[in-house]
Amino acid sequence: MLNVQHISKRKMFRPILTDCTFSIEIGKIVGIIGENGSGKTTLLKILAGVLYPSKGHINLKQDRSFNISYSSDHDYFYNYFTIEQLIDFYQSQFDDFVQERAEAMLDFLILIVK
């Protein structure tokens, strides 16, 4: 279970999130909706560990069936990275990285590693 308790986030002196509290049970799929500038992306970044809350706590029961995913609209890799360099990077970052799965995806996308 994910428990978010009274998290707040400020950027400089401007509040982005204020006293946000909720729980999500394992197996649930949740969508976040709100107006532009309401803090949706900031909340997702906090849940994914990209940002830290200014206040509050997040408790996540460590269970393999509970995952938090966040996909940014920014490209964090330089354009000069080769596919092979990206695969090497991901393999160094994730213990459960499967080389064969990456190669199968390259074949599916018809990408060639040089």
| Per-residue tokens: 9 | 């986030």
d(Cα 95, Cα 69) in Å, to the nearest integer? 17
To the nearest whole number, what is the mean pLDDT of the chain?
Answer: 85
Each residue's pLDDT tens digit, 52-72? 999 999 988 766 555 666 677
User: Any alpha helices (H) in 1-114, and if so which ranges?
Assistant: 40-48, 83-93, 99-108
Cα separation values, 2 from 17, 22, 40, 41, 94, Å = 18, 8, 17, 18, 22
* Three-class DSSP category at 22: strand
The pTM of this model reads: 0.61
d(Cα 106, Cα 100) in Å, to the nearest integer? 10
